[in-house]
Amino acid sequence: MQDRPFEALSVDTLAVRLADVAAMRDTLGEDPTAWRAREVGDGNLNLVFIVEGPRGTVVVKQALPYVRLVGDSWPLPLKRSFFEYHALTRQAARAPGRVPEIFHFDEAQALIVMEFLSPHIILRKALIEGRQPPRMARDLGLFMARTLFRGSDLCMPAGARKADLALFSDNVELCDITENLVFSDPYFDAPMNRHTSPQLDPLVAELRADRDLKVEAQRLKHRFAAGAETLVHGDLHTGSVMVSEGDTRVIDPEFAFYGPMGFDVGMLLANFWMAYFSQRGHESAGARDTMRAFLLAAIETCWEAFRAEFTLLWRTERTGMLYQHSLFEDQGDALGAQQALHHFMHDVWTDMLGFGGIEIHRRILGLAHNAEFEEIEDLDMRAACEARALKFGRHLAVNRRAIQSLAEIGALAEMLDQGEVS
């Protein structure tokens, strides 16, 4: 299969096409005629198959040469599969146990054969259903601290990090999607935008005329494009996480590139805040008060796990060229290293808030929306939930340098949600 030109798989061709892949035979069983494939991809870009055999099950993910959500009018290179594969190998080393195991990668066919996770479900779906996965907030905080710290100049040898930065710098088209869809399109009448209309029209006009917001969005875009701090996942929303009662796995790092640490953290927390603001639209089977409390607590748990683990790694694995021990601890100046950490975390905090605010806006005003809002059938209710989230996002983006704590913004979220401020 390595030398054949790219060809998209289908449920009918998959077994024949992958019959010679040793990892498939080992995991599913030796007889490909007994394999059964179904296509389950519900993301915006790729094909995803679950393939069952007599011995076991695997997932086969294949990139398409275009954006699935839009069609072949929007070509997108297959090399995103290469970046996803390489990001997964690094995440597996830096945060063991938190990504699916990779069994096989075929660069020409842009496909990855990986572990089938069961009984896991997508975290976004779990949150829409009102489930409260017990481990995910802490697991994700640890995942972010470990991958972001260990991929940076705080930890890696400078040459190795620069080589990695060069490798991922070719992920141009996926970065371009984020640069446009996240940081620019929501703030003008871009062709692929959509929003709940006419209910949100006045607020959308207000946000697009908001000079302070537009300037902050562009400052954040500059951070995103030029702040090559570490290998970020690049698309760390709740649709990129699978959960069970006892496990959390991060999937889909095809947007990986060297960017600012706060981007992953902000995107993830933004998706928790959106889950929070969507709960009013999912109360037909009963009030979601405990779910709202769970989500605000999860945000605090996740940030605190990130902060605490990052602090531990700063003390124990600071082996890179930044803030060397030779300047601080080795001279009896542990306080100096602590002061530097304080400034570093403050910068990540401020970035996180800004990126979080912008992520909320793009999921309501741009091309790619979130199921937690989209599945609210009553459009007046959907718009009311979205409006609260939009105002919250604007506050995060514009006032991020003045925001002191998650308790402060959690209180704002509650007041917006309860209509105490508008």
CB of 12 to ligand SR1, least distance (A): 27
67 is a site residue for ligand SR1 (CB under 6 A) = yes
Q: Which does 47 bind (CB under 5 to 8 A by kind): Mg ion, ligand SR1, none?
A: none
CB of 45 to ligand SR1, least distance (A): 6
Stretch that binds ligand SR1, among 39-47, 157-165, 242-250, 345-353 (CB under 6 A): 39-47
387 is a site residue for ligand SR1 (CB under 6 A) = no
Of 93, 106, 76, which is closest to residue 2 (Cα–Cα)? 106
Residues 6+ apart with CB under 8 A from 354: 216, 219, 220, 223, 262, 266, 396, 397, 400
84 is a site residue for Mg ion (CB under 5 A) = no
**d(Cα 9, Cα 28) in Å, to the nearest integer?**
18
Stretch that binds Mg ion, among 43-51, 156-164, 283-291, 302-310 (CB under 5 A): 43-51
CB of 20 to Mg ion, least distance (A): 28
Stretch that binds ligand SR1, among 3-11, 37-45, 204-212, 390-398 (CB under 6 A): 37-45
Stretch that binds Mg ion, among 42-50, 113-121, 354-362, 375-383 (CB under 5 A): 42-50
87 is a site residue for ligand SR1 (CB under 6 A) = no
43 is a site residue for Mg ion (CB under 5 A) = yes
CB of 383 to ligand SR1, least distance (A): 22
Q: By CB under 6 A, name the one of 44, 184, 244, 399 that touches ligand SR1.
A: 44
Q: How far is CA 130 from CA 92, 223, 287, in A?
A: 30, 35, 10
Burial class (CB in 10 A: 0-12, 13-18, 19+), 193: middle
Q: By CB under 6 A, name the one of 8, 69, 93, 209 that touches ligand SR1.
A: 69
Q: Which is nearer to Mg ion, 237 or 292 (CB)?
A: 237
Residue type (1 letter), 314: W
Q: Which is nearer to Mg ion, 229 or 252 (CB)?
A: 252
Beta bridge partners of 104: 113
Q: Which does 181 bind (CB under 5 to 8 A by kind): ligand SR1, Mg ion, none?
A: ligand SR1
Binding mask 357-376 for ligand SR1 (x = CB under 6 A): -----------x--------
**d(Cα 341, Cα 345) in Å, to the nearest integer?**
6
**d(Cα 388, Cα 273) in Å, to the nearest integer?**
10
Q: Around 380, how many Cα atoms within 13 Å sit in the side-chain half-sphere?
A: 0
Stretch that binds ligand SR1, among 43-51, 199-207, 353-361, 391-399 (CB under 6 A): 43-51
Q: By CB under 6 A, name the one of 229, 235, 372, 417 that touches ligand SR1.
A: 235
**d(Cα 370, Cα 238) in Å, to the nearest integer?**
10
Binding mask 170-189 for ligand SR1 (x = CB under 6 A): -------xx--x--------
Q: Which is nearer to ligand SR1, 95 or 181 (CB)?
A: 181
Q: Which residues bind Mg ion (CB under 5 A)?
A: 43, 252
Residues that bind ligand SR1 (CB under 6 A): 43-45, 67, 69, 177-178, 181, 235, 368
